[in-house]
Amino acid sequence: MVTLMERLWKQALRTFSKRNVLSQSFEESFLVLKSLADAVTAADVKLDLKLLERHPLGPLSRRKPPVTYIEIYEDDNVTIGIFILKAGVKLPLHDHPQMYGILKVISGTVTIQSYSVVPSDRISPRCGSEAKCVYAEKLPEVTVNQSDNSCTLTPTERNLHEIRSVDGPAAFLDILAPPYDSETGDSDLTDRSCHYFVEVPWTSDVCDKNIKRLCVIPSPPDFWSDSAPYNGPELRGARETNVVISQSRCVICYC
């Protein structure tokens, strides 16, 4: 019997194959993948509920990592995994360079603050520019739980975000394509690493208040992660298909 996770994995491979991404059928294939993700629950991945336990407060040296990552599958086209955020924890504001993504909460509740990068010609010259900043439209914050459908991001929409757990720990399924640091075949997109950002106020009143200036910062010192094994149903054929790529992920974290 084919499990939901196996169907989702196979659909992800089809959707994000290099040939399909460039085809007219990509959008339809992406929507099929999203509909499969919409149905995923904690039971489908056999989530270990002990991983959701609160982490103790105290000096950083004695704390448990605030985030746990479970890798389900990764090759040079797509990565599938689960993020577990302990109570009161956030994934800091970070980017997804030229990526598509699907996020499905499978336990608890999260708030997502997303931004969409805007072309530089939308920025008044009087607002200035900085090499280590991007300019993005700040979208309304959304709150989602395990009863809600999945959220998405694209290379041009909602491609930066911050995710916070609400009223306790939370876990979500995460599908990204292509993975960080993978080859895109586009010489103009050489930097595929993950960057962290902070909002920096405009210094001029002429600047569009709907557009925010997001400047790169070092990885936050209070954010790090550990990993846990995937205990869900086997993805038959994954060992033969999987080609693990070298990674330089967001700090010790994975965004």
Write the pLDDT tens digit of every residue in 184-229: 444 344 567 889 999 988 777 667 778 898 999 998 887 788 899 9
Q: Is 248 domain-assigned? A: no
Model confidence pLDDT, tens digit, residues 129-179: 676 888 899 999 999 999 999 999 999 999 999 999 999 999 999 999 999
When pLDDT is averaged across residues 43-56 and rounded to a whole number, the result is 84
131 token code pair: 């090499």
Within-domain flag for 85: yes
Output b/e per residue, 221-230; b: 16+ Cβ within 10 A: eebebeeeeb
Is a pLDDT exceeding 60 seen at residue 75? yes
Confidence (pLDDT) at 162: 97
Say whether pLDDT at 19 is over 90.
no
CATH of the domain at 191: 2.60.120.10
Mean pLDDT estimate for the chain: 84
Range of the domain at 173: 4-241
* Cα–Cα distance list, 51 to 30, 61, 69, 169, 228 (Å): 30, 20, 10, 9, 9
Residue 182: pLDDT over 60: no
Distance CA 236, CA 179 (A): 21
Per the CB < 8 A criterion, the answer to whether 253 and 223 are in contact is yes
Q: Is residue 42 part of a domain?
A: yes
Q: H or E stretch including 225? A: strand 225-227
Domain annotation covers residue 97: yes
- How far apart are the C-alpha atoms of 189 and 176, rounded to whole Å? 17
**Is 11 inside a domain boundary?**
yes
Contact 133, 217 (CB under 8 A): no
**Distance, CA of 240 to CA of 218 (rounded, Å):** 37
In total, how many domains does the chain have? Answer: 1
118, part of any domain: yes
Nearest CA-CA partner of 175 in 37, 52, 49: 37
Domain assignment of residue 246, yes or no: no
Q: Is residue 122 part of a domain?
A: yes
Report pLDDT for 84: 95
pLDDT higher for 113 or 210? 113
Residue 244 confidence (pLDDT): 41
